[in-house]
Structure 1
């Protein structure tokens, strides 16, 4: 017993007085009837715990579950341990159970027969291939600039951010475009090759129409301008599995960071304004230390590899 109430103390004083002066005088003094004194004297064993109120919950109820119903619930739960409340209730009703779903819930709780939800199978990703040197593989993707960021005279227009990120060094190259097409992708690729300080062996993209026609309606898809330019430059083109953006995870994550640290706080009044601000953002990104790079900036990581052929 954790709680001692004033009623319990009153009963103790009453009983001790009755032992000393008699039941009648105790009843008169404390304004209770004699039966009350006798009842608590009979229960009193010298401890306050014996004077506590017992549960007033009835032992029986005219509408309580019958033994047959309880047996049905137990048998059905043994055969359906993972069935949810509604499904389990429907299965019981198919076997003649007439109680409400609320009544069933109370019984399941009381008897500890609530459903056991099996754990969902976890996705176990395959070990991602680690790059060994800069330019071994570069991820490219396109981000649509949020409409809320385009204001003033540029309101209603659409701007696009082309992004390339080196998987080894996290070095990024960003460029602003007004058009989302294979032509823009080819132009971006040419500028990317000039901007990166190392040769690019492989480019990885999704299956968007700006990169490939592989998932188009044509039975014999032709090469896009982007793919032709890749072929001319001798760069391998790797396509990720359709509708699986996590396979292009590094560029997708960088886009999420762009939303948090750039687009959430910037407005663009013209395309030139957007292009200038994007260049500044890209420069700041490449100078910012990162945990995957042992808290070194991508530009420093690249320069160390180029100048010394080794990392920090």
Structure 2
């Protein structure tokens, strides 16, 4: 029986059982018949698809800047700041940009600036199903393209959407955001949007020039440069 104690008790009551669920539990335990909860199926993550060159796939996501980091006049005015992040799956090279809103327009602007910052062509962009990227989960039966999707289509860049409500499928950018929390937002405050923008740019440069274990202790900048110079893979 895998229905659970409460369901079992309710079914017994329907057949005339009058004792409480606690009494039923004690009796089952005394008779060594206590229900055993079956283990949940273990989630086995699929291995990441290996990328073979920069731009093969880029993950994009938006991070809400913690309210506690916004101080002074910006806090008094109720300002909200957002960090747009793009990370190349092959090299871990990132492009970050500060915005005061997250919308399809902001996403399209970010895409344009990202393509300028990356020194390599981008074949595929992967995002979640947020309204700043797509109307796929909206109320319309025939959703139109967002400005972000139209920009991708114009540039012939494939748009891959992850499965709804599974942020782990955008794991590299999600993991990088957790590191941002630990090493950046936990120790910085911002008095204005311009202040946030400048500090985020410094943080981005540090990230791209920091050696990483998945890159054989090379920096993302070194990894990209080596590939673009002679196709070298460390």
- TM-score band by shorter chain is 0.7 to 0.9
Following superposition, the deviation at residue 182 of structure 1 comes to: 1.7
1:85-234 superposed matches below 5 A: 85-87=5-7, 105=25, 108-109=28-29, 112-155=32-75, 156-234=78-156
Pair 1:190–1:83, CA change in 2 (3 A)? closer
Q: Please, which moves more after superposition, 289-298 or 262-271?
A: 289-298
Higher relative CO (Cα under 8 Å, sequence separation at least 6) belongs to 2
Conserved? CA contact 1:83–1:115, under 8 Å: no
In structure 2, the partner of 1:59 is none
TM-superposed deviation, 1:95: 6.7
TM-score, scaled relative to structure 2: 0.86
- Summarize the alignment of residues 251-266 of structure 1 with structure 2, pairs less than 5 Å apart: 251-266=173-188
The aligned length equals 232
Provide the rounded CA distance (Å) in 2 between the counterparts of 1:200 and 1:238. 13
Structure-2 separation of matches of 1:127 and 1:258: 24
Aligned equivalent of 1:304: 226
Unaligned runs of 5+ in 1: 1-79
RMSD: 2.5
CA distance in 2, matches of 1:225, 1:96: 63
Deviates more, 1:127-136 or 1:103-112: 103-112
- In structure 1, C-alpha distance between the alignment counterparts of 2:9 and 2:130, rounded to whole Å: 48
Q: TM-score, normalised by structure 1?
A: 0.66
Q: Larger helix proportion, structure 1 or 2?
A: 1
